[in-house]
A = this chain, B = another copy of it.
Amino acid sequence: MITATEKSIQIIEEGHITSPKGFTAGGVHCGLRKTKLDFGWLHSEIPAAAAGVYTLNSFQAAPLKVTKNSLEKSKKLQTIVVNSANANACTGKQGYSDALEMQKLTAEQMGVETDHVAVSSTGLIGVPLPMDKIRSGIGMLGKEADTSPENFEKAILTTDTVTKHLAAQVEIDGKMITIGGAAKGSGMIHPNMATMLSFITTDAAVEQKSLQSALKSATDNTFNMITVDGDCSTNDMVLVMANGMQKNKPLNESHPEWDKFFEAFQFVCQGLAKLIAKDGEGATKLIEVNVTGAPSEIAARQVAKAIISSNLVKTAIYGADPNWGRIVCAVGYSEQPIDADKVGISLGDIAVVKDGLPLDFDEGEGKLYLQNENVKLIVNLNIGEYEATAWGCDLTYDYVKINASYRT
C-alpha cells in the first residue's frame, strides 16, 4: 500500500488529466446519447511516449485492435478520442473499418499523424457505430469552448454516477513532475456491457519501454485488483502518455529516482482504481481486502481476489454483518496453498479469527465498523512474506435492479 505522505507524493487538489504540462482535453455532444456529452478528446502539444494495456477478453473490440496496432508501431500518441453509448464491439469487419476511419479523421482534424491517434469506445455492443455522428463529433474536436477536463471526464461515462479524476506531483531531477488521470467504469453496464477505461498523462520524460513496463506493473497492482462484478469487458483499456515537457533526464529503470516516479505513477493508478470500485453499480461501500503473509505474490493476489469477488462477502458487508465465516470460506476456495490453522482475520482493527479459530469479539462493534463507507478486511495467511490489496464494493438490491431491468 502506498500512502501519499510516506513517498513525498503530493496530491493536487481537484487534479485532472490536464494538470500535467502540455495536455488539453474536452468533450462535446455529437448525438450518440440524448443530451449528455458523448465524445471526448485528450491531446498533447507534442507527440508523447505512450503505452497501453488491453482487456484479455477474447472478444476484443475493434477500437482496441486499431489502437494496439498503431501504438505497437509508433510507440507514441498525441491524441486520444473516446465515444460513449456504443462500444463498437461484435461489429465484425465493418466495426474495424469504422474504427480505422475514426482514427484517420481525428488525425486530419487535429493535424497529427494517424499512428499517433488512439480510438476508444464504450457502450452498447453489437450495434454498428453511427459514423455520421462520429464524423460530426470529430469535426468539433479541439474547439476552445468545449475544452475542459470536466467535459472529457463526462463524455466518457456510461452508467457511472460520478466523474473520476486525480493528479499528483513528485520531484524528479529537481523538477516537479505531474501525473494526471481520468477514468470511467462502474461494472459491466446496462444496457449491454461496458468498460473500464483509464487515461493517464504525465509531463515527465519517460523512455517508452520503461513506460510500458511501469504501466503493466502498476496495472497488475491496481486496475487488475478491482472487481465490481467479476465481469471483464471487451473494451477495457488503460493508456498512458508521457510528453516529457518538464525536460527531466528521460526516466528508465536505471534512473536513481525511478522508484519515486513509479510509486507516484502507481499512486495515480490506484486512486483511479479505487474511484471505479467505489462507484460500482449499486454500491454503497468501498471494500479493501489486504492479504499479508502469503507464500507468493500470485497467492496473495488470488486470495484477495477470491474474497473481494465473493457474493456472500459482498452481501454480508452490504448488510453490515460481521460474518467472518464467509471470508474464511473464500480464503479456503482460492485454490492457493493455505494452512488453515494459521489464518488470521480482522475487520478493520477488530480481530475476529486467529490461528484459523474464531475469537471472542463484540458483534455489535463489528456491525458498527461495517457500517462505514470504507471497509477494510485484513487477512494474514502467516505462511510467507508477500502481500496484495484488492478493492471492490458491496452487492446490493440496486445492483440487481440496475442489471435486471429490461433494456428500454
Q: Which residues of A contact B (CB under 8 A)?
A: 56-60, 89-92, 124-127, 187-188, 191-193, 229-234, 309-312, 315-316, 318-321, 323-326, 328-335, 338, 340-341, 353, 356-358, 367, 395-397, 399-401, 403-407
Contacts and interface: CB of A to CB of B under 8 A. Distances in A.
A104 to B, nearest CB: 24
B403 A311 contact: yes
A312 B229 contact: yes
24 contacts: A58-B340, A59-B331, A90-B328, A90-B358, A125-B325, A125-B328, A126-B357, A188-B312, A188-B329, A191-B323, A192-B326, A193-B329, A230-B310, A231-B333, A232-B329, A232-B333, A311-B395, A311-B403, A315-B403, A319-B403, A319-B404, A367-B406, A395-B404, A399-B400
B193 A404 contact: no
Given A193-B312, A333-B56, A333-B231, A318 B126 contact: no
Contacts of A233: 329
* 10 tightest Cβ-Cβ pairs between the two chains A and B: A319-B404, A315-B403, A57-B332, A192-B325, A126-B358, A59-B332, A58-B338, A232-B333, A58-B332, A315-B404
Interface of A is mostly: loop
A335 B58 CA distance: 8
Given A56-B333, A329-B59, A318 B193 contact: no
A234 to B, nearest CB: 6
A90 B353 CA distance: 10
